[in-house]
Amino acid sequence: MFQGFPEIKEALIANKIQVAFMVAPMAIALRAQGVPIKIVYLGHRYGSAFVVRKDGPIHSVKDLPGKTIAIPSRFSDERLMVFRALKANGVDPKSLKMVEMAPPDVAGALAVSAIDAFSMGEPYPSQAEIGGFGRVLFHAREYWPDYMSCVVVVRQDIIDKRPKAVQTLVDGIARSGMWLDKGRDNRLAAADFVGRLYFNQPPKLLTWALTNPIDRVVYSSLTPRKPDFDLVRDLMIETGVLDKKIEFEEYIDTTFAEGGHGLTAWKWQPGDEQAN
C-alpha cells in the first residue's frame, strides 16, 4: 500500500512493483514518455467527488474563482473533472488555484480551512461528509457520464513473459467487481474486511462510500473503451499535461479484458475461508 501516486510511479519504473492501480492520466503520460507499461483494465467507474466546506460560501461552481482546490495529481481524472465543471459553468480555470495533495491529507486540510475544496476519489469525500465538515458540491457523473479514474497498469515485460498471470489478475478483478455489484450485503462485507485488513481505514467509512448511494462507486463495465480514453487524452492535451496525441493501442492492451469468458462473481460470504 502506498500513500501517493508519485511513489507508485517511481516504484513501477524501478520494477519494485509490476502492477499498479493508478489514475488514468498518469498511466497515459508515463506511456507517452516511453515507460514500458500498458493499461489492461479499469479499477472502477465513478467514485470521485468535488467537496467543499459544509458551512462555507461555495454553493455552486460559479463560486470557485479565487479559491484553492486540492487534487491528487496534475495527472488525474479528478483534475480533468474540475476542468469539465468549470467549462460547463463558464468559469475561467486561471481564476482559481489547484494544489496537489496526497489523498489521505485532503479531508483534514479542508477541516482546518487550509484549502477551500478538494476533488478526490473515495473514501475521502465520504470522510469529509461523515466528519460533518464537508459537503459534496457535485459527483463526477454530473459532468462526466462515463467517468473513470483508477486503471490497472502492468509492466510490458510481465505482459510479454507472463500473460497467464496477467489474465488471472484481470479475471480476479472482474469477478470481484461482479461480486461487489451483486448488492448491498456484499458491499457491507467488503467494507468490513477491506477496511480492517487492507486499507487500515474504519469500516464505517468504506460502508458510507460503497452505499451512499449504492452506485456511488460502480465495479462493472471495466473493459477499457477507446472513446473513454480518447476523451481523457484530449482533455489532457487541452489542459496542458500532454503534448502529443498518443493512440489507444499504444497504451492499452484489451486482450485480457476480452479474454475472460464466462466469468461469474466470486462465491464468498463472511466466514468462508476462501472464495471460489
Partner 1 sequence: MTGRTKKLVLGLFVWSIVITAAHGWLNVNWAMLWNDRLPFDKRKLNVAYIPVT
Residues that bind partner 1 (CB under 8 A): 1-5, 8, 11-12, 16-22, 43-44, 47-48, 72, 103-104, 120-124, 149-150, 158, 161-162, 165, 169, 198-201, 209, 217
| Minimum CB distance to partner 1, residue 232 (Å) | 16
Q: What is the DSSP string of 110-156?
A: HHTTSSSEEEEETTHHHHHHHTTSEEEEEEHHHH-TT-B-EEEEEEH
| Minimum CB distance to partner 1, residue 8 (Å) | 5
Of 2 and 138, the one with the shorter C-beta distance to partner 1 is 2
Of 28 and 91, the one with the shorter C-beta distance to partner 1 is 28
| Minimum CB distance to partner 1, residue 247 (Å) | 26
H helices of the chain, in order, are 5-13, 24-32, 77-88, 106-111, 124-130, 140-143, 156-161, 163-180, 184-194, 203-211, 226-238, 248-251, 255-259
> Which amino acid is present at 14?
A
Other CB atoms closer than 10 Å to residue 92's CB: what's the count? 10
In a 3-state reduction of DSSP, which class is residue 166?
helix
| Minimum CB distance to partner 1, residue 2 (Å) | 5
Of 209 and 241, the one with the shorter C-beta distance to partner 1 is 209
Of 50 and 91, the one with the shorter C-beta distance to partner 1 is 50
Of 91 and 101, the one with the shorter C-beta distance to partner 1 is 101
Cβ–Cβ < 8 Å for 193, 180: no
Of 51 and 91, the one with the shorter C-beta distance to partner 1 is 51
| Minimum CB distance to partner 1, residue 16 (Å) | 7
Residue 185 to residues 31, 200, 275: CA-CA distances in angstroms? 39, 21, 16
